[in-house]
Chain A
Amino acid sequence: MSGSLSTPRIRAPRSARAGEPVEIRLLIEHPMETGLRQEGGRVVPRDLLNRLVVRVNGEVALQAELRNGTSANPYHVFFLRLDRTSDVEFTWTDERGRSARASARITVA
């Protein structure tokens, strides 16, 4: 297992109108190994992303606690309500405390 998490992919608009729902799509490559699966008679070690935090201008907008039943390559879609130009930051963390970050600036007209 490498020392860092993969680079997340984000789909967010560059601009939006105030108050209108802003769709955000997130995907991060990760095996989400449950520690229950066997391969060639050996248990594949548990390796899970357990947290995703979305902040808008530093304030937490959405937090996800991910468990066994979340698919490999976790994918999430949600809708923000922005009333001004905002910096949106996304952070994924695994059970060993490693993290991956990404951000987007959305201009609100």
Chain B
Amino acid sequence: MSLPRRAVLALVALPFAAAAQEDALAAAIREQVGDAAVEEGGITLRVPVVAENGGQVPITVLVDSPQTAAQHVTAIHLFATRNPTPGIASFRLTPLLARAEVQTRIRLAEDQRIVVLAQMNDGTVRRAAAEIRVTTGGCLS
């Protein structure tokens, strides 16, 4: 039996690569929100189901908040689960915004889940996620 050397390497490396990606994601999340408890919901996340061009994927994040001095979103963090590195962007918000909404364009190397975390001024953290299929990967590597 003679598997090509490259194939063997790929088989051995794959689980490690996936585990490393998960570790990098967990570390990136911890760096932003620490060990705060995270609750699902309270975020509207608009992304395409299929992105033709992974280099320019539109994303809209709208957090349910009056965005007043008393009650507002202080940060929105975007993470990629299967890019070479998980960081996409972090936004620091203030009550000078009319609503807790940010629209941008992101890069996705392949099919994956996007994770969004929103930090509120009372210290709570909300989470939302969406799966995106990518036809042509964004030129990350």
Partner of A71, one of B55, B85, B91, B96: B55
B141 within 8 A of A: yes
Q: Does B140 contact A (CB under 8 A)?
A: yes
Q: Are A78 and B105 in touch, CB under 8 angstroms?
A: no
Nearest Cβ in chain B — how far from A6, in angstroms?
17
A80 and B104 contacting across the interface, CB-CB below 8 Å:
no
B106 an interface residue at 8 Å Cβ cutoff?
yes
Q: Does B42 contact A (CB under 8 A)?
A: no
Binds A, one of B11-19, B76-84, B120-128: B76-84
Closest to A63 in B: B92
CB closest chain-B residue, reference A75: B105
Q: Is the CB of A71 within 8 A of B57?
A: yes
Asked if A67 and B104 sit within 8 Å, CB to CB, the answer is: no
B99 and A79 form a contact (CB under 8 A): yes
How many chain B residues touch A (Cβ–Cβ < 8 Å)? 35
- Beta-carbon contacts under 8 Å, A62-89 to B: 62-72, 74-81
CB pair B90–A65 under 8 Å, yes or no, is: yes
Closest A residue to B68 by CB, please name it.
Answer: A81
Interchain CB contact under 8 A, A63 and B91: yes
A81 contact set on B, CB distance < 8 A: 67, 95-98
Nearest Cβ on chain B to A59's Cβ, whole angstroms: 7
Interface residues of B (CB under 8 A from A): 55-57, 67, 78, 80, 83-99, 101-108, 138-141
Binding site for B on A (CB under 8 A): 20-22, 32, 34, 36-38, 56, 59-72, 74-81
Q: A22-B98, A72-B107 are in contact. List 10 more A-B contacts (CB 8 A).
A: A21-B98, A65-B91, A68-B83, A68-B87, A69-B107, A70-B89, A71-B56, A71-B104, A72-B56, A75-B104
